[in-house]
Structure 1
Amino acid sequence: MEKYSKWRDFGTGIQPFLPIVPPNSRTRGIGSVSSILCTYVLGVVLSISRLLTLVAILSVDSLFTNVISNLFPTQYLRNTCKNFFRKNFATLLLWNSGFLSIDQSVYSLKKFKSLKKSLDSGSKQPKSGDLIFSNHSSYIDVLYFISRYNPIFVEIDNATLKMKPLKGWNAIISSCSKPKALLNAKDAMSLSQISQDARKYNMGPIVVFPENTTSNGLGLLKPLDIFSDPENIDENISIFITCLKYPSKRFSPTFPMGSPISHYFWLNANLTNKLSVVSVDPMECPTFKGLENKSSKGNAERQEIDMDKEINSGMISCTKLKQTKLSTLDKLDFLAYYYAKSEQYKKNK
């Protein structure tokens, strides 16, 4: 759409904020009728049944994570129990939405190997307090990470680079919401403090979306330089890079904007949905461990910037996507323009 050309990245030609429109089917006659029947009749029935199942799963999840888990005497044990239950219920929700199998693999600069082979060979796994950096194109990203680790997610202040930790379903709600450019000062914490608390209370690894908002998955947004703030550095953590893609030819699971309820309804109208997860080999991920002693501020800043660049480079290689120069602030401008035009259109009808 040319009216949104301001938010087209001129270097790549990508418009990362517009929803992906499924390719038009050229089938006619019986094929066209069959497609309409599957989508608007059987698909609607399937989606309604899945939404009812969703309510049941969330009800049982609330019972186990908020009642049974609290019977344990210490915060560490309570979080351990909550992590176990929440991961399993999130897995059920993925299955319920048609993500019956997830293609998982490990990306290496030297070779491409299956995740199963890597795990069998003793691949390092994220622990509480470790950092997982990922691209972000859908609330399904959040659901996937919950099913794997029940981690902490963070909202990032674009100015101060301080963060607000989120857990569980609150992180999904945040992913579906308008991005926040600034955080309330009372909620803001350094990444290192969040990491220390996660290790102390066994709250899981920390998932960081350096784009700080969702895109349509066609390209990467300009990332925030997380480690340009020295308070975000914790040399005791390990860094992991994981990238998620949705190779769908029908209704796309990516969610850059719009109504999350409507999107989730039609997502569940698909019999199956696909998710591809590619992780950079943990042995090739950047790390703070082993860096030279930072004796001067200038040297520290140089190394921190290099760390952000290394992470971003790993994400570009892992996703095979082009890097745009558009950021979270550009998306906020786009949404303001889009909704203003929508209101104007409604008034003129």
Structure 2
Amino acid sequence: MEKYSQFRDRGSGIAPFFPVPTQPSGLRLPLHVFLFCVRVPLVFAGLLFYVLVLTWLPIGNLLKKATLWFVLGVPGIWWVDLQLDGVRRGSLSRQPAHRLPSAGTIIASSFTSPLDALYLTAIFDPLLTASYPSTPQIEVLSLPRALLRALSPPLLAPPPGTKLTDLAALLRAHPDRAVVVFPECTTTNGRAILPFSPSLTRAPPGVKIFPVSLRYSPPDITTPVPATYADFLWNLCSKPTHCIRVRIAAAVLNDAAGASAGAGVDWAAAPTATGTPRPAASPKQRPVAGSPSQPQKNSYVTNYFDSLGLGFGAAATAASTATTTTTAQKHSITSTGLAAAAAAGPESERLSSADTLIGSEDGGAGGGGAAGEDSAALPPPESQKVLDRVAEDLARLGRVKRVALGVRDKIEFVRRWRRGK
């Protein structure tokens, strides 16, 4: 793998495009062969029944979801570990409905396997879409096309003749459906979050964007390398069982602040997770920092000892403020220089940091557009905050890091990978 070292992230050493090795079957090989031969026909039969029959019948979603769960259950996906971010285990059923994706919302999902689209369709019955790094517009996909896209080569731009739309128009046309967006534009092995397409910047203000992280155990059913149909089917259908780890973050709104949908909620007046009201604040409690009685202080300038009234004098405070301002200016200049160097320099000199992710070759972390593409595809700074917020949530939920490698890097990796084999 040393010859592919340039496709590792420079800062962390993470290789998001390398296929996850499969554990050898050993003495269990006869069992794995038997499971594979029995399961593969059942999986294809369930998918064909869904595509050729149920898709065209004017029936409800119950039979469709039951068929998709049959397709998921045949390969041994019997356990789904679903958890909401910030919610204790065992209290999921007591959470309000707005904490989960629903009609009229957007699901920003990680992209690692064909099972992503299959599971999300079985749960939420959404509209599936494809994103491209060179445009904020999206392409609507059917379930079979979404499954095949996870095994297809990455694309920098949509093919000629592709019918494109944006999130606002799609939500207006289908107010009774959720919309799934894969903002990374291509699959990974689940060990990193790639720079985002600008497609999420077209989300209407006030529409909730739910970051959803999907991880699999064993992880060898991810498809970072395209056209690995046989390997994917073998890894999926030969193992006795699989597990999906699903994490859903709090909703994000596409506004200038990139704030959470929960911002502005009076959590002190809201009930607890058990439904009981919170105790009233005691009048003897200290005033909260930032209230009229206790103005908010800059933590860089003041600390705990300043609240003791020791009287160090205004000169010390002024000197501290000047030092802090100078340090912040130096940091800003350094960050700007690193970002410019990363955008102008060769691929081998890019660094994985919050500064170099912005303006990188593929549009930065959360940005869109590869080098040489129209600069109009790059999101404005206000929208970039939303992309950064969603990307950070996906990285935190998946317990991975954001990297600067993008779609253009994967195209080059796939080319060398095939030539090396």
- Provide the TM-score with structure 1 as the length reference: 0.78
Structure 2 CA distance for partners of 1:215 and 1:63, relative to 1, 3 Å: closer
Structure 2 counterpart SS, 1:17: coil
Query: What does the per-residue CA deviation read over 1:258-312, in whole Å, with 9 as the maximum and x for residues that have no partner?
Result: 51233212321000011111111x3xx22147979xxxxxxx9332121111111
Distance across 2 between alignment mates of 1:60 and 1:256 = 28
Contact 1:226 1:308 (8 Å CA) reproduced: no
Which segment is superposed worse, 137-146 or 52-61? 52-61
Cα gap change, 1:317/1:96 in structure 2, threshold over 3 Å: closer, same or farther?
Answer: same
**Alignment partner of 2:26 out of 33, 36, 47:** 36
Matches within 5 A, 1:178-217: 178-183=153-158, 184=160, 186-199=162-175, 202=176, 204-217=177-190
Could you say what the CA RMSD is over the residues aligned between the two structures, in angstroms? Answer: 2.4
Q: Percent of pairs identical after alignment? A: 22
What is the CA-CA distance between 1:182 and the residue it aligns to? 0.8
Deviation of the 1:141 alpha carbon: 1.2
Match of 1:129 in 2: 104
Quick one: structure 1 residues 42 and 227, their matched pair in 2 at CA, closer, same or farther if it must change by over 3 Å?
closer
What's 2:14 paired with?
14
Question: In 2 relative to 1, CA 185–113 (structure 1 residues): closer, same or farther, beyond 3 Å?
Answer: farther
So what's the TM-score if we normalise by structure 2? 0.66
Q: How far did residue 126 of structure 1 move?
A: 2.2
Paired amino acid for 1:120: R
Kindly state the Cα deviation for residue 185 of structure 1 after the two structures are TM-superposed.
Answer: 5.1
Q: Deviations over 1:161-190 (max 9, x none)?
A: 211011222211111111221113541212
> With CA pairs under 8 Å and 6+ residues apart, which has the higher RCO, 1 or 2?
1
Distance change in 2, residues 1:7/1:173 (3 Å)? same
Structure 1 residue 219 corresponds to structure 2 residue 192: yes
Q: Does 1:279 align with 2:252?
A: no
Deviation at 1:85, TM superposition (A): 3.2
CA distance in 2, matches of 1:52, 1:308: 41
Deviation at 1:44, TM superposition (A): 1.0
- In structure 1, runs of 5+ residues without a counterpart are 25-34, 70-77, 293-299, 343-349
Quick one: structure 1 residues 20 and 66, their matched pair in 2 at CA, closer, same or farther if it must change by over 3 Å? Answer: closer
- What is the correspondence of 1:201-280 to structure 2 with a 5 Å cutoff? 202=176, 204-228=177-201, 232-248=202-218, 252-257=220-225, 258-280=227-249
Alignment length (residue pairs):
298
Distance 1:268 1:186 in 2: 34
Query: Aligned partners of 1:17, 1:148: CA distance in 2, in Å?
Result: 28
Which of 379, 385, 392 is matched with 1:306 structurally? 385
Q: Shift in Å at residue 54 of structure 1?
A: 1.5
Aligned residue type for 1:225: P
Distance in 1 (alpha carbons) for counterparts of 2:243 and 2:162: 39
SS at match of 2:383: helix
Report the Cα distance in structure 1 between the residues aligned to 2:111 and 2:18, rounded to whole angstroms.
Answer: 14
Q: For 1:19-168, list aligned pairs within 5 A.
A: 19-22=19-22, 36-38=26-28, 40-62=29-51, 64-69=53-58, 81=60, 83-108=61-86, 112-114=87-89, 117-124=91-98, 125-168=100-143
Q: Gaps (5+ residues) in structure 2? A: 259-378
Deviations 1:70-109 (A, max 9, x none): xxxxxxxx6xx2x43332211111111111111111112x
Deviations 1:205-252 (A, max 9, x none): 111111111101112222223345xxx13125221111011232xx72
Aligned partner (choices 311, 325, 330) of residue 409 of structure 2 = 330
Equivalent position SS for 1:187 = coil
Query: Could you tell me whether the CA contact under 8 Å between 2:391 and 2:402 is conserved in 1?
Result: no
- Mapped to 2, the partners of 1:262 and 1:221 lie a distance apart of 24
Please say if residues 106 and 209 of structure 2, whose CA atoms lie closer than 8 Å, have aligned partners that are also in contact.
Answer: yes
